[in-house]
Amino acid sequence: MTDSASLSSLSSALAAMVARAAPALVSVHSHRLRASGFVWKPGLIVTADEALADEGDIEIRLPDGGTRPAVIAGRDHTTDIALLRVDADIAPIQLSSTVPALGSLAVVVAASRGTATAALGMVSHSGGRWRSLRGGDIDARIELDVRLHHSQQGGLALDASGQAFGMAVLGPRRVLAIPTTTIERVASRLETHGRIARGYLGLGLQPVRLDDGIGAMVMNVDKAGPSAAAGVRQGDVIVAINDEKLSGVRALSRTLGPDSVGSIIDLAVRRGGEPVSFKVTIGERPEA
């Protein structure tokens, strides 16, 4: 096969791949912001939370040119996933749980004013689970070397076989793909509960260096929070959780995921230089 024939075959395959995904993509308009989204389940659209306005009405522009009002079913700032409800009969896209290999081709299929768009790039990083700056658990670190406009956030990232492996979003200085395993987990909770519960100790903490390691000094205490009820006071220094030495404040926050609410943890504390321990029942973080 000649080089031109190979390129023509690749071009045709990419165009067919985009055409298969495009019917599930929609435009999301919210208070001067434009984003993309995709149909996750009948009547439910997943989009990028960062690209969704905090106020005003939301309008969905469909592939057939029609528009529908939408309401927020739930949103999670920490994983950049928002779920919208809309009265529209559009077949959902099938998501794949595969994580693309480093260096593989990636196509971002999005929508602008109801019209499908596409951008071709490459997977520039493919790694394991990580935690976002806002504290969200992301199942895989996928970075894309692709140019992404703001309105394309919330679009689908496809691999060379046409499988949807994530949602494209704009991260700090790079384009990220929120993997489908994270989308399925978070969107399911949003559909059922409308929000993602987060663990809450009711403490304001500051890291401090100790002679034998790192601690977290309690700078303030929510008087109505679970730590206050257990007896933790301002000025206490937390040095261990469940008999494991503390490696930092971020390590403590990692114990406060959605599944932590209602569980009991042992806090080893130094108060005035003396060791004290408390059993704290993790509460649910109040909504902002």
Residue 70 sits in a domain whose CATH number is 2.40.10.120
Same domain, 227 and 147: no
Same domain, 145 and 163: yes
Same domain, 209 and 135: no
Same domain, 55 and 129: yes
Average pLDDT, the chain: 92
Using CA atoms, how far residue 5 sits from 15, 19, 158, in Å, is 15, 21, 23
CA distance 154 to 178: 9
Span 230-238, average pLDDT:
95
Tens-place pLDDT, residues 254-283: 778 777 889 999 999 999 889 999 999 999
**pLDDT of 222 strictly over 80:** yes
- Prediction pTM value: 0.81
**pLDDT of 288 strictly over 60:** no
User: Given the structure tokens 């793909």, which residue do they identify?
Assistant: 177
Same domain, 190 and 93: yes
Best CA proximity match to 99, nearest among 159, 189, 187, 42: 159
Q: Domain count for the chain, please give it.
A: 2
Same domain, 181 and 221: no
CA distance 75 to 85: 12
Tell me what pLDDT residue 251 has.
Answer: 76
- The single-letter DSSP state of residue 287 is P
Span 78-86, average pLDDT:
95
Tell me what pLDDT residue 1 has.
Answer: 58
Tell me what pLDDT residue 257 has.
Answer: 77
Span 83-88, average pLDDT:
95
Last residue of a domain, one of 196, 216, 245: 196
Last residue of a domain, one of 196, 231, 257: 196
Same domain, 58 and 110: yes
Burial string for 246-268 (b: 16+ CB within 10 Å, else e) reads beebeebbbebbbebbeeebebb
Same domain, 61 and 155: yes
Tell me what pLDDT residue 259 has.
Answer: 76
Span 92-120, average pLDDT:
94
**pLDDT of 150 strictly over 60:** yes
Tens-place pLDDT, residues 28-66: 999 889 999 999 999 999 999 999 988 889 999 998 889
- What is the distance, to the nearest Å, from the Cα of residue 79 to the centroid of all Cα atoms in its chain? 2
Same domain, 186 and 204: no
**pLDDT of 287 strictly over 90:** no
Tens-place pLDDT, residues 153-176: 999 999 999 999 999 999 888 999
Tokens found for residue 159: 């691999």
Last residue of a domain, one of 196, 225, 252: 196
**pLDDT of 126 strictly over 90:** yes
Q: Can you give the residue range of the structural domain that contains 97? A: 1-196
**pLDDT of 21 strictly over 70:** yes
DSSP bridge partners of 237: 217, 270
Same domain, 109 and 62: yes
Tokens found for residue 105: 């081709």
Q: What is the CATH number of the domain that holds 214?
A: 2.30.42.10
Tell me what pLDDT residue 212 has.
Answer: 82
Same domain, 147 and 46: yes
Same domain, 57 and 1: yes
